[in-house]
Amino acid sequence: MCQEVVYNVCIHLSFMKTTMRKSVLIALVLGFLGLSACSVEADKKNKDKKDEEKIIINVETTQTHLGDSVATFKSTAVLEADRQATVTTKTAGIILELLAEEGDEVKAGDVLLVLESDEQQLSLNSAKANYEKSLNNLTRAESLLKRGLSNKEQVDNLRFETKSLKAQLDQAKMNLSFTQVKAPFDGMVVKRHVKVGNLIQNATAVFDVVDFNSLQAKISVPEHHWLLMKEGLPVQFDFDAIKNTAITGEVERIAPMVDSATGTFQITVKVNNESHRLHPGLFAKAEIIYDQRSNVVLVDKDAIIREDEAAYVYELDGADKVKRTQVTLGYEMRDEVELTAGLTANQTVITTGKSNLSPDSWVNVVNAPAETPVADATVNELTQE
């Protein structure tokens, strides 16, 4: 009886161990499946998070192209006329007639103003009569001298007297001419100072006359640009008063000395003003062209990133990636920069949005790259310092 009880107990214990092992195994399998599901879910969340962290930056691009690079020295100037005069009288009198008005073009020698001349005319008539009388006496004395009826001393005295009277006649003619005020050179009357009927004195200003074909600009250049400046260099002007009009000139003279007080030397530029649209006193921006290079690589100035002495651009790499490229700059222009190394023509670079980029950035180009422009001269700006 006891043995049977012990046997039954052992059978039950064995059954319980087997059941427990199965439960543990089932629990382990379920735990593994749960961990796998959690891992898949975590991977999915990490992928979604990574996708969310991928930032795409909108940018604008342009292309490098070939063109002409023109180097200039840039400064400012005020136009002035080389031939500009205030016409004054050479005698006193009442103004009888004004023959020119402001805005009139005149030629050298044209009469601008007439003064009363009665006194001068009387003096001329008297001087002319005295001279003619003395000239007749001299002619008769010379004839008598040839026949031995006069002496040489008397003839010489008459000859000197006649010369003196001739000088007085010339003086009277000149005084009469002073009653007519004439233009000193070809130009335009820009100002009238007097009116008809005014009693004016000697050396009174009556007109201002300007030759608009003699306009020039004087530009002060720092001494370290001395070797760049040469006579005949072309100059381009930009006037605020005259928009969209190309005004040109050329270097006419270069001062032979440097002003030690300012460290500059002066150049004189002859301005082309055939249309007479320019006037003295106009303010201008001047660019003296001192060098030019043809068929060089140019890029928009907005594409350049400067760091100390180095320069970089972000070049489009594929459709949505960029790479940072170091470039060597040549002449710097108003809107473009010459590249002497780093890029070739027809490469796409970032202009707008470049400051937000890094080499691993993703980009979205919001504009199509502009077509390569026709080669054209741009201007290097060497500003006055």
pLDDT truncated to tens, each residue of the chain (385 aa)? 444 444 443 444 444 444 445 454 454 444 444 444 445 454 555 555 455 566 888 888 888 899 888 888 999 999 999 999 999 999 999 999 999 999 999 999 999 999 999 999 999 999 999 999 999 998 988 888 888 777 888 888 999 999 999 999 999 999 999 999 999 999 999 999 999 999 999 999 999 999 999 999 999 999 999 999 999 999 999 998 888 888 999 999 999 999 999 999 999 999 999 888 899 999 999 999 998 888 999 988 888 888 888 898 888 888 888 888 889 888 888 788 889 898 889 888 888 888 888 888 888 888 865 554 444 444 455 544 4
- 3-state SS assignment for residue 324: strand
- C-beta of residue 71 within 8 angstroms of C-beta of residue 290: yes
* Lookup: tokens for 49: 């998070």
Q: How far apart are CA 255 and CA 251, in angstroms?
A: 11
Beta bridge partners of 187: 106
Whole-angstrom Cα Rg for the chain: 49
Q: How far apart are CA 275 and CA 180, in angstroms?
A: 31
Sheet holding 187-192, edge to edge: 84-88, 205-210, 187-192, 105-106
pTM of the entire predicted model: 0.63
Q: How far apart are CA 173 and CA 166, in angstroms?
A: 11
Q: How far apart are CA 335 and CA 381, in angstroms?
A: 10
Going from the N-terminus, what domains does the chain have, and what CATH number goes with each? 57-69+294-383 (2.40.420.20), 74-82+211-291 (2.40.30.170), 88-116+179-210 (2.40.50.100), 118-178 (1.10.287.470)
Q: How far apart are CA 371 and CA 19, in angstroms?
A: 81
